[in-house]
Structure formats: C-alpha cells, structure tokens
Amino acid sequence: MEKTATIPAEKTKPFRLVKYFTLSSLVVIFVGTLVLSAFDTHLARKMQLQKSEEYAKLLIENLNHQIFLQFILPAVLKYNRIQLSNPEQYNRLDQVVRSTLHSFKVEMVNIYDMRSTISYSFNENIIGRKDIRSSGYKEAIEGKSSSRLVQRGNFFEIMLGFPKDSHLITISPLRAEKQISRLSGPILGAIEIKLDLTEEYKTIFNFQIRVIITSAIVMIALFLVLLLIVRKGEAIIERRALERLRLKEQLNRAEHLSSLGEMVAAVSHEIRNPLGIILSSTELMQKKLDADDPANTLTGIIMEEAGRLNTIITDFLNFARPRTPNISLCRVDQILDKNITFLAPQIQSGGYTIGRRFAEAIPEIHADADMLYQAFLNILINAMQAMSDGGSIHVMVDSRDNMVKVSITDSGPGISEDIKEKIWDPFFTTKDKGTGLGLGIVKNIVKTHSGRIAIQNLPEGGTCVAIDLPVN
C-alpha cells in the first residue's frame, strides 16, 4: 500500500512566514490608520475651534455694533446717561441683544462695565455681581479678545473626544464706535458670550467612528483576501511537496526495480541455459524409453516442471526487460477471440462460461498484437483462477472518444480492500503458485501502448478490469 508522505516543517515554513508577515503588516496598517484618523480628528477639532472662535468674535463685533447704534446712542440722547437699573433701558438692551443673536447658538451673554460688574446677562440672578477678575476680562479691558473651551464629561469621554457638553466662552472689549462698522473707540466694558459646540463635536466624533469602522472593515476584508491567497498558496506548496515526495519515492522504487530487474535478468539467463539442457536431455531420454516403462512417467514430470520453470523465467525476463513493441494495425476483438479459442479446453474443463459483446465497427489500432494477446491472456487466466469452482466471464469491447475500451468481468469474490493497493506490486501474489508478475506485466504492456488500466470491485460482486487503448 502506498505510504502517505509527510511534509517537513521547512517545506511550509516560508509560506507561514508570509502569513505572519501579512498579519503583522495588516495590524501595523490598522494601527497606523487609527493613529491617522485620531490625528485627522484632532486637526478637525482644532480647525472647528478656530472657526468657532472667529465666528464668536464676529458675533461680538456685530453685537457691539448693534448695542452702540441701537442702545447706547439713543439712551445717551434720551437719558444723558446709561443706567441699566432703569427697567426701560434694560428692556431696550435686552431686546437689542436677543434680536441680534436670534437663531444663533448662543447660550449666555454677559456684559461687564469698567468696574468688573455684570451689568447685563441672560441669567438675571448674576446681574450686579462684582469682583470677576478673570484673565479674559483683564485682556478684554486691555483691548484683546480671548476664548476658552469648556467641556463637561468624565476623563475618558473628554480624552476620546465625545464629552457630554462643549461650550466656547469668548470675551471681547465693548467699544464706543467712532465710525460705522469700525470698533476703534474707547473701551466701555466687556462682552462675554457662550456658544454651544456640543453638536459640532459630536459630528466630529461620529465622523471619527465612521472612519475607524470603515478602516476596520477594509482591513478585515483585505486580511480575509490575503488569508485566502496565503491558504491557497500553502495548499499549492503542500501539493507540490507531496508530489515531489511521491516522485522521489517512485524514482527510488524505479531504481530499486531496475537493479532488481537486472539481477533477475542475469539470473534468469544463467538458469535458462542449464534448463534448456535439462529439457533437451529429458526429451531424448523419453524417446529412448518404452511407453510402458515406469521411468517414462518420471521424464514426463521432469518436462512438465521444467516447462513451468521456463514460463516463470519468461515472466521474469518480460517484466525486467520489456521488449520493444512491434507496432502494426490490429483489431482488439480478433485478439480476444484468439485468447478465448486458446483457453477453450480450460474453460470447458473448469466449468466456466464466457460471454462476448463486441460493438460493431470497432476501429483498428496501432499496437503490438502479440503483447496485447499476452496481456489479455493473463487477465483471463487471473479471472478463471479467482473462480476455483467455475463461474462466468464477460468480455466487452466498445469504442468512443477515439479510444477502444475493453472490459473483462468475472463473477468471483472480488479483491479485498486490504490488498487492493498491492496488486500492482511486483512479486505480490495471493496464490500458492505464481510469481506475482502477471498484472505488473499487463500494466507495463498497457502503458507501452499509451493506454490506461483500472481494476475495481463490482457492487453485485466480482471484479472488472477496464482497459482503454488509443486508436492512434
């Protein structure tokens, strides 16, 4: 039975290294993608913050302009002073502020006077509060604007970029205008507004999540594709390694058989010479003895056994040194008819029946008729030997696909599975007599004619030998 080849570890090691390199490369690419997305998100947050700061300054500038034109100037002309404790002035300022900031995401507006007192606020509870000396207020009094981002959430929420609330607080000087749309007059106080940036930051975070998910999906898909390629590559390497091992085993076996064949051929030649002398001497002795002489029986036995030994030697020589086929046009059905005619006495005495079914118009093939005769004869003899108590043999010949197909089926017990792989091995036999070279010789003859041979057990019992021979 053919041994299963084991692939050494070094055969697949290079491809395993490729797989590990692929996996590590994908991990590095994925981590790099995460870092790049984090950097892009940080850059997006920074740009969003810058735009929000500019946006807040524009809002304050516009609010400053509207307060000066619609509140400060009319109040000074009407009341000669600004006094927000006066409900009429306060309501007028509140109306100007709210109408100016209408539809903008401004949560809080605080207006400070020069004494750091909150003179106006959306939150009426803090109006009149003093001593607010933040750095932003000080910079506003000095004519500078400043902003700060205030976020609410736990440590991980803030670090990962999805705080519960995000607000931008911007404070700028409140100026008296010398010219329309130009804030270059004296500073009257400070304006502080609070913008809600929660939705913007959530949008950026959602964008970051989509980038990460998309990258993960792409990486997983790429990994699966590469893994499939690597596995296919490993399968190819494994098949090639197995094929190399099989070829190596076949080569070693062929070398062994070649050496054995040379030895068998040499020994057979050495045996055949004295065997020929034994046969000729026995024939001469048999001619000189009388038919009733008891010694005549002994010479018959000697000649019979010498003939059997000569047949064994012939099998050895045919297997060890196959002869070159003498190719000519021949008909397979006619060769099989000659085989059956030759075996007719054994078929009749052994209780066998042979059925023939030959297709019409079987084409001639280029082959050695004598070699095919020997091959078919061996198969028919094996079929009869498999049925010691007699049985039926069916011979069929057909042609299709530019091939002549021959099948010889017997009704014997079939071939047991444990020896099915050994039947082609030289010198393997289950018979008490025989060299075990019959099927080996048949296989060599079929291969010499570029044909195919297969033996299989039939479901209903018996064995079928199928031979395909090319027409050309």
**SS3 track for the chain:** CCCCCCCCHHHHHHHHHHHHHHHHHHHHHHHHHHHHHHHHHHHHHHHHHHHHHHHHHHHHHHHHHHHHHHHHHHHHHHHCCCCCCCHHHHHHHHHHHHHHCCCCCEEEEEEECCCCCEEEECCHHHCCCCCCCCHHHHHHHCCCCEEEEEEECCHHHHHHCCCCEEEEEEEEEEECCCECCECCCCEEEEEEEEEECHHHHHHHHHHHHHHHHHHHHHHHHHHHHHHHHHHHHHHHHHHHHHHHHHHHHHHHHHHHHHHHHHHHHHHHHHHHHHHHHHHHHHHHHHHHCCCCCHHHHHHHHHHHHHHHHHHHHHHHHHHHCCCCCCCEEECHHHHHHHHHHHCHHHHHHCCEEEEEEECCCCCCEEECHHHHHHHHHHHHHHHHHCCCCCEEEEEEEEEECCEEEEEEEECCCCCCHHHCCCCCCCCCCCCCCCCCCHHHHHHHHHHHCCCEEEEEECCCCCEEEEEEEECC
Give pLDDT tens digits for 101-139. Answer: 887 878 888 888 888 888 888 888 888 887 555 668 888
Question: Is the model more confident about 91 or about 17?
Answer: 91
Q: What is the pLDDT of residue 1?
A: 38
Residue 161: closest CA among 207, 193, 214? 207
Residue 290 has what pLDDT?
Answer: 63
Q: What would the mean pLDDT of 352-357 be, rounded to a whole number?
A: 88
139 by Cβ neighbours in 10 Å (0-12 / 13-18 / 19+) ranks as: middle
Instruction: Reply yes or no on whether the pLDDT at 4 is more than 50.
Output: no
Residue 55 contacts residue 48 (beta carbons within 8 Å): no
pLDDT at 431: 61
Which residue carries 């920074």 as its tokens?
A: 46
- Whether the CB-CB separation of 169 and 139 falls below 8 Å is answered with no
Residue 5, pLDDT score? 45
Beta bridge pairs of residue 376: none
Q: Which residue has the higher pLDDT, 227 or 292?
A: 227
The CATH classification number of 325-470 equals: 3.30.565.10
How far, in Å, CA of 346 to CA of 163, rounded? 101
pLDDT score recorded for residue 222: 78
Residue 11: per-residue pLDDT: 45
Contacts of 288 (CB under 8 A, 6+ apart): none
Distance CA 257, CA 441 (A): 13
Range in 85-99, 121-135, 237-251 with the lowest mean pLDDT: 121-135
When the pLDDT of each residue in the chain is averaged and rounded to a whole number, the result is 78
Whether the pLDDT of residue 285 is over 80: the answer is: no
Q: What pLDDT shows up at residue 153? A: 77
Distance CA 411, CA 392 (A): 6
* pLDDT score, position 315: 64
Q: What is the pLDDT of residues 434-466, one digit of tens each?
A: 555 667 778 888 888 888 888 888 887 788 889
Q: What is the pLDDT of residue 255?
A: 75
| The pLDDT value given to residue 16 | 60
Confidence of residue 181 (pLDDT cuts 50, 70, 90): very low
Tens of pLDDT, residues 34-74: 777 777 777 877 887 888 888 888 888 888 888 888 888 88
Spatial CA neighbour of 173 closest among 300, 76, 68:
68
Q: Where are the domains of the chain?
A: 9-209, 325-470
pLDDT, mean of residues 247-265: 73
User: For 220-224, 239-243, 301-305, 357-361, which range has the lowest pLDDT when averaged over its residues?
Assistant: 301-305
With beta carbons less than 8 A apart as the criterion, state whether 412 and 462 touch. Answer: yes
Per-residue pLDDT for 380 more than 80? Answer: yes
Q: How do residues 286-337 score in pLDDT, each as one tens digit? A: 777 665 666 667 777 777 777 777 766 666 666 656 667 788 888 888 999 9
CATH number of 9-209: 3.30.450.20
Closest-CA residue to 161 (of 196, 200, 219): 200
Average pLDDT over residues 365-387: 86
Question: Alpha carbon of 360 to those of 236, 357, 376, 397, 409: distances in Å?
Answer: 46, 10, 20, 9, 20
Sign of CA dihedral 311, 312, 317, 319: positive
Q: Among candidates 407, 409, 402, which has minimal Cα distance to 387? A: 409
- Residue 294 is predicted with a pLDDT of 64
Angle at the Cα of 184 (from 181 to 189), degrees rounded to 5? 105
- Of 79-88, 141-150, 265-274, 420-429, the range with the lowest mean pLDDT is 420-429
pTM of the model: 0.44
Can you give the pLDDT at residue 437? 60
- Higher-pLDDT residue of 3 and 394 is 394
